[in-house]
A and B are shown apart, each in its own frame.
Chain A
Amino acid sequence: MTRLLTALVMVLAVVAQRPAGAVVTGSIFGPGSQSFPIAVVPLRALGGDPGGRIGQEFARALSRDLQLSGYFKLLDPATFVEKPDSVGLTAAETDFVGWAAVGASEVVKGGVLVAGDQVTVEVRMFDVPGRRDVPEVGRRFSGSRGEVGRMAHKTADRILEVLTGERGPFDSRIALTSTRGGRLKEVYTYAFDQDAPTKVTTVRSIVVGPHWRPDLRSILFASYEQHQPRLYQVDLLTRGVRPVIPKGVFLNGAWSPDGTRLLVTREIAGNSDIYLYDAGGSEIRRLTDHWGIDVSPAWAPDGRRFVFCSARAGSPQIYVLDVGGGDPRRVSHAGSYNTSPAWSPKGDTVAWATRGAGGFQIVVQPLDGEPRTITERGSNEDPSWSPDGRYLVFSSTRAGRQTLWMADREGRTQNELTGGVGGDSSPAWSPRTE
């Protein structure tokens, strides 16, 4: 009888224990609610990291990702009850009482060991009320010095997965065009731990509309390098640039999610229409045939439909069409100028830019639902979805010059991503790096 009672008590104890950050679903919980007060302690230097620089770099990148996600309140390091040079890496060595007193719900800490160019990072997350290590987050990473940023992004994405049920998007990159290196735009890439984007092309002409190939090995863009705009791709390893479609004038293009086909805007005799091409550069079929402007195709994640911008009804609006052809169906019903659509990787939701009095604002709308405007300051253009479908990156002029900003799909969080001199445009958020 006592055995049964003991078993019962044990079962109740397990059931009653608050799991670390129980997954909460529902619309009241989302980015912008800042639900989790979290402390990110710089990694303890276990050897080979003089001054703890790598440990700080990891913490800084992780903190920024968590802050951008909109789910966290990052605690001020001045209040930390454990210091980087003396943190313990186990629950037994964690001052849960102290952390609770400063308001932390989660604590992230760990250590870093450097030997030559090999960096080993051990990171753990502790649930403060539960007084325990959260094993789903704990991980050891091994890599080169240059991969520390990605280690932080993978940790952030994992923390988000455990606490929100959805893996985070930060182990990814953004392609963009920018004039920050000169008068004329070039293609750049940006990772979330960078201070500024990295230049990828030196075309010295006009470049527009960068789009990732799904294997992340190259970026597609239109360039006037050969006088008329054409589609090219730049190999990210070699930085070599080569044409994608040998003949014709093309204003933009986008790879299908499986990387085998391209939707492109082709211009003939002043008129722009959407075409489907294969990866080898051969035309598969013409998809629009209208005297009105048809431009900016964006694939659905199922690879069978796409949205695009058409002025066939007299003003630019968003339409959806099957990749097999047919009659486009109108998607945008409010406003007189709707353009630059992007289809969420998760479900039938589309974002685009709508023109208002002061400039462009970003709109998010389920395909057959109601639009929601998620920006209001400055002029905001060219939205692109995060791989988890929760966020959008776009260009914005609200900070005085054009830089990239990130917002969650409901617009509750808005954060500047690239700063500095700006001149950034046309962002494209890559799939996750692996």
Chain B
Amino acid sequence: MRSVGWWSWMLVAVLCAPLAGGCKKQGPSPEDGVGGPDGAGALGEEGVGGGGAGGAGGSSLARAQQGLSPEEDGVLRDVPFGYDSYELEGEAGDAVERNLRWLRENPRAKVEIEGHCDNRGTIEYNLALGAKRAGSVKDHLVEQGIDATRLSTISYGKELPVCSEETEACWVRNRRAHLVVLGR
């Protein structure tokens, strides 16, 4: 019998990670129209967070609490944004389309959309900008027919960057909406 390559197990781990995580949250609440989970913050607790084997998946904050860097892409594609912008344009269209397809193929999956910024803004303004970015992605997905109760948003501003170099190459990676699968 042919042995299964290690990468197959990685793929399985990535796909199963969301199921392995103990997400104790309630479903999205009507609070603030964002549908953000509101109760005892499971994703905020140390050591818990939908991330499973090999550190795959999990919210950017949960990962940081476990000493891991935020993930780029993941099961769903990061949606890029222009400088100081929260408009979906250019390459964002590709990423959003791929995420739309995935969401339609996984109709029970719930997703949190994280808004992130590069470090060229100040802390508080970037928290607001990240919220706009997450909101843009959610609005578009809902317009395309995804049930709003499946989508929650949160902003991390520039607090959880994937890189810290003062270069355009790094800034572009940080200007993103990152989508985290919460459960399916």
Interface positions of A (Cβ within 8 A of B):
183-185, 204-206, 208-209, 224-229, 247-249, 251-252, 265, 267-272, 293-296, 309, 315-316, 337, 339-340, 353, 355, 359-360, 381-382, 425-426
In the complex, residue of chain B having the shortest beta-carbon distance to the beta carbon of A295? B128
Instruction: Let me know if B153 is at the binding interface, CB within 8 A.
Output: yes
Contacts A226-B40, A251-B127, A270-B153: A381 and B122 contacting too (C-beta < 8 A)?
A: yes
A227, A247, A272: the one contacting B44 at CB < 8 Å is A227
Contact B124 A252 (CB under 8 A): yes
Contacts A270-B138, A339-B125, A360-B122: A226 and B41 contacting too (C-beta < 8 A)?
A: yes
Contact B154 A227 (CB under 8 A): yes
Contact A183 B44 (CB under 8 A): no
Instruction: Let me know if B34 is at the binding interface, CB within 8 A.
Output: yes
Tell me, in angstroms, the Cα distance from A226 to B134 when the chains sit together.
19
Contact A206 B61 (CB under 8 A): yes
Contact A270 B41 (CB under 8 A): no
User: CB-CB < 8 A to A228: which residues of B?
Assistant: 36-38, 41, 154
Tell me, in angstroms, the Cα distance from A360 to B119 when the chains sit together.
11
User: CB-CB < 8 A to A339: which residues of B?
Assistant: 121-122, 124-125
Instruction: Let me know if B43 is at the binding interface, CB within 8 A.
Output: yes
User: CB-CB < 8 A to B108: which residues of A?
Assistant: none
Contact B64 A251 (CB under 8 A): no
Query: Range of interface residues on chain B?
Result: 35 or more
Tally inter-chain residue pairs, CB-CB below 8 A: 129
Contact A293 B129 (CB under 8 A): yes
User: CB-CB < 8 A to B36: which residues of A?
Assistant: 227-228, 249
User: CB-CB < 8 A to B122: which residues of A?
Assistant: 339-340, 353, 360, 381-382
A204, A226, A265: the one contacting B128 at CB < 8 Å is A265
User: CB-CB < 8 A to B120: which residues of A?
Assistant: 355, 359
User: CB-CB < 8 A to B136: which residues of A?
Assistant: 270
Contact B61 A270 (CB under 8 A): no
Q: Shortest distance in angstroms between B69's beta carbon and chain A's nearest beta carbon?
A: 10
User: CB-CB < 8 A to A382: which residues of B?
Assistant: 122-123
Residue in B43, B65, B123 with the greatest tally of chain A CB atoms within 10 Å: B123
Interface positions of B (Cβ within 8 A of A):
25, 31-34, 36-44, 46, 61, 64-65, 67, 84, 120-125, 127-129, 131-132, 134-136, 138-139, 153-157, 159-160
Contact A271 B132 (CB under 8 A): yes
User: CB-CB < 8 A to A270: which residues of B?
Assistant: 34, 131-132, 134-136, 138-139, 153
User: What 6 A-B pairs come out closest when comparing CB atoms?
Assistant: A270-B135, A227-B41, A269-B33, A272-B128, A226-B41, A293-B128
Q: Shortest distance in angstroms between A422's beta carbon and chain B's nearest beta carbon?
A: 13
Task: Provide 12 A-B residue pairs closer than 8 Å at the C-beta atoms, listed in order of the A residue.
Answer: A205-B44, A208-B124, A224-B61, A228-B41, A249-B31, A268-B32, A269-B33, A270-B135, A293-B132, A296-B125, A340-B123, A382-B123
Contact B127 A227 (CB under 8 A): no
User: CB-CB < 8 A to B40: which residues of A?
Assistant: 226
In the complex, residue of chain A having the shortest beta-carbon distance to the beta carbon of B133? A270
Contact B44 A271 (CB under 8 A): no
User: CB-CB < 8 A to B153: which residues of A?
Assistant: 270
Contact B43 A227 (CB under 8 A): yes
User: CB-CB < 8 A to A229: which residues of B?
Assistant: 127, 155
Tell me, in angstroms, the Cα distance from A204 to B135 when the chains sit together.
26
Tell me, in angstroms, the Cα distance from A234 to B153 when the chains sit together.
27
User: CB-CB < 8 A to B43: which residues of A?
Assistant: 227
Contact B44 A224 (CB under 8 A): yes
Q: Shortest distance in angstroms between A298's beta carbon and chain B's nearest beta carbon?
A: 11
Tell me, in angstroms, the Cα distance from A204 to B49 when the chains sit together.
14
Contacts A225-B41, A249-B32, A295-B128: A208 and B123 contacting too (C-beta < 8 A)?
A: yes
User: CB-CB < 8 A to A353: which residues of B?
Assistant: 122
In the complex, residue of chain B having the shortest beta-carbon distance to the beta carbon of A294? B128
Contact A226 B44 (CB under 8 A): yes
A226, A267, A293, A381: the one contacting B123 at CB < 8 Å is A381
Tell me, in angstroms, the Cα distance from A247 to B34 when the chains sit together.
13
Q: Shortest distance in angstroms between B147's beta carbon and chain A's nearest beta carbon?
A: 16
Contact B34 A249 (CB under 8 A): yes
Q: Shortest distance in angstroms between B52's beta carbon and chain A's nearest beta carbon?
A: 19
Tell me, in angstroms, the Cα distance from A158 to B33 when the chains sit together.
54
Contact B123 A248 (CB under 8 A): no
Contact B31 A425 (CB under 8 A): no
Contact B135 A269 (CB under 8 A): yes
User: CB-CB < 8 A to A226: which residues of B?
Assistant: 38-41, 44
Contact A426 B123 (CB under 8 A): yes
Contact A209 B124 (CB under 8 A): yes
User: CB-CB < 8 A to B154: which residues of A?
Assistant: 227-228
User: CB-CB < 8 A to B125: which residues of A?
Assistant: 293, 295-296, 309, 316, 339-340
Q: Shortest distance in angstroms between B51's beta carbon and chain A's nearest beta carbon?
A: 15
Tell me, in angstroms, the Cα distance from A185 to B127 when the chains sit together.
15
Q: Shortest distance in angstroms between B146's beta carbon and chain A's nearest beta carbon?
A: 16
A183, A184, A251, A337: the one contacting B124 at CB < 8 Å is A251
**Other A-B pairs beyond A208-B157, A315-B84, 17, CB < 8 Å:** A185-B159, A204-B46, A206-B156, A208-B124, A208-B159, A227-B42, A229-B155, A247-B31, A252-B124, A267-B128, A268-B32, A269-B33, A271-B131, A295-B128, A339-B122, A381-B122, A426-B123
